[in-house]
C-alpha cells in the first residue's frame, strides 16, 4: 500500500502559522522533536514559556526556522509558499481574539480576516505543493466552532467557519491526495487565556465544567496535530478532533 508523504514521521517540511507563540509554538516544537524541518510563520513574539509553548523538551537546534509574515497579506503568503522547495504539512494556528470588543464592525472584520480568511489564503496557496507531496493540512478550530461565545462573536464565527472550511477542502482536495483535518481545542493555558486562568473564580468555573478537571496545555493540542499529520491518520480527512478534556461531551 502506498503511504502519503505526510504520513511519514520525520524528514518532512512543516509550515506552522502562528508558530511563534502559544499553541503554534508547541506544535512546531513537537514536529521538530519528531525530526521534521519546521518553518514557524508569524508576527514577532517573545519566546514561549514551557507552559505556553513547551512539549517537555527543547526542539533540536536549527530545525525550526522563523519567518515574519502576516497571514492577512495574500501576496506575501503566495511569494513565501511559492519559494518553498517542498511542503508536506501545513498547520494553520494563527489566530486572534478581542473579548468584548468584537461587536465593533471593524474589529469583527479584522478577527475574521486573520482567523478564517488567513487560513483560507494559506490553504489555497499551499495546495499545489501539498498535492505534489500528497501532504496534509491541520487547521486549529475551537470548541466555539460548536457553540456561541457571548463575549467573542467574531472569534466564534471565524472558528465555526474554520470547521466548515476544513470539511469543504477535505472533500474538494481528496482526489489530489491532500488530507484536511482540524483540532478543536477547549480551555488551553496560553497568553490568549491568561486573564481567565489567572482569575481564581473563572478558572474554577472552567475546571468544574471540564470532566478531566484541569486546563489543557499547548502540548496536548500539539499531540493531536501530530497524530492527524502522521502515519496512523492516513485514512482520516474532514475530521474535527476535540481536545478539550471532555468539555463538549457535557
Is residue 10 in some structural domain? yes
Which residue range(s) make up the domain with 200?
A: 5-245
**Predicted TM-score (pTM) above 0.75:** yes
Going residue by residue through the chain (250 aa), what tens digit of pLDDT does each one get? 344 555 455 589 999 999 999 999 999 999 999 999 999 999 875 444 434 443 334 555 458 999 999 999 989 999 999 999 999 999 999 999 999 999 999 999 999 999 999 999 999 999 999 999 999 999 999 999 999 999 999 999 999 999 999 999 999 999 999 999 999 999 999 888 888 889 999 999 999 999 999 999 999 999 999 999 999 999 999 999 999 999 999 8
Which one of the listed residues 80, 108, 155, 247 is annotated catalytic? 155
Active site residue 155: yes
For the domain that residue 196 is a member of, what is the CATH number?
A: 3.40.50.720
Each residue of 194-228: b (16+ CB within 10 Å) or e?
eeebeeeeebeebeeebeeeebbbbbbbbbbbbbb
What residues contact 226, with CB distance under 8 A and at least 6 apart?
27, 30, 31, 34
Radius of gyration of the chain (CA): 17
Number of separate domains in the chain: 1
Structural domain contains residue 34: yes
Amino acid at each position: 500500500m502506498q503511504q502519503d508523504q505526510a504520513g511519514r514521521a520525520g524528514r518532512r517540511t512543516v509550515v506552522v502559522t502562528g508558530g511563534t507563540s502559544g499553541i503554534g509554538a508547541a506544535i512546531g516544537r513537537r514536529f521538530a522533536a519528531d525530526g521534521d524541518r519546521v518553518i514557524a510563520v508569524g508576527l514577532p513574539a517573545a519566546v514561549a514559556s514551557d507552559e505556553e509553548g513547551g512539549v517537555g523538551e527543547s526542539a533540536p537546534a536549527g530545525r525550526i526556522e522563523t519567518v515574519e509574515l502576516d497571514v492577512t497579506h495574500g501576496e506575501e503568503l503566495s511569494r513565501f509558499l511559492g519559494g518553498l522547495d517542498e511542503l508536506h504539512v501545513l498547520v494553520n494556528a494563527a489566530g486572534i481574539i478581542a473579548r468584548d470588543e468584537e461587536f465593533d464592525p471593524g474589529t469583527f472584520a479584522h478577527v475574521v480576516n486573520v482567523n478564517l480568511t488567513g487560513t483560507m489564503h494559506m490553504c489555497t496557496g499551499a495546495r499545489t505543493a501539498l498535492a505534489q507531496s500528497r501532504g496534509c493540512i491541520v487547521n486549529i478550530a475551537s470548541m466555539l466552532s460548536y457553540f456561541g461565545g457571548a463575549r467573542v462573536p467574531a472569534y466564534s464565527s471565524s472558528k465555526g467557519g474554520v470547521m466548515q472550511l476544513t470539511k469543504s477542502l477535505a472533500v474538494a482536495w481528496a482526489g489530489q491526495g491532500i488530507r484536511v483535518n482540524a483540532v478543536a481545542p477547549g480551555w488551553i493555558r496560553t497568553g490568549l487565556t491568561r486573564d481567565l486562568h489567572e482569575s481564581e473564580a473563572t478558572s474554577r468555573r472552567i475546571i468544574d465544567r471540564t470532566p478531566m478537571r484541569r486546563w489543557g496545555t499547548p502540548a496536548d493540542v500539539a499531540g493531536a496535530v501530530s497524530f492527524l499529520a502522521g502515519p496512523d491518520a492516513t485514512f482520516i480527512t474532514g475530521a474535527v478532533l476535540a481536545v478539550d478534556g471532555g468539555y463538549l461531551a457535557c
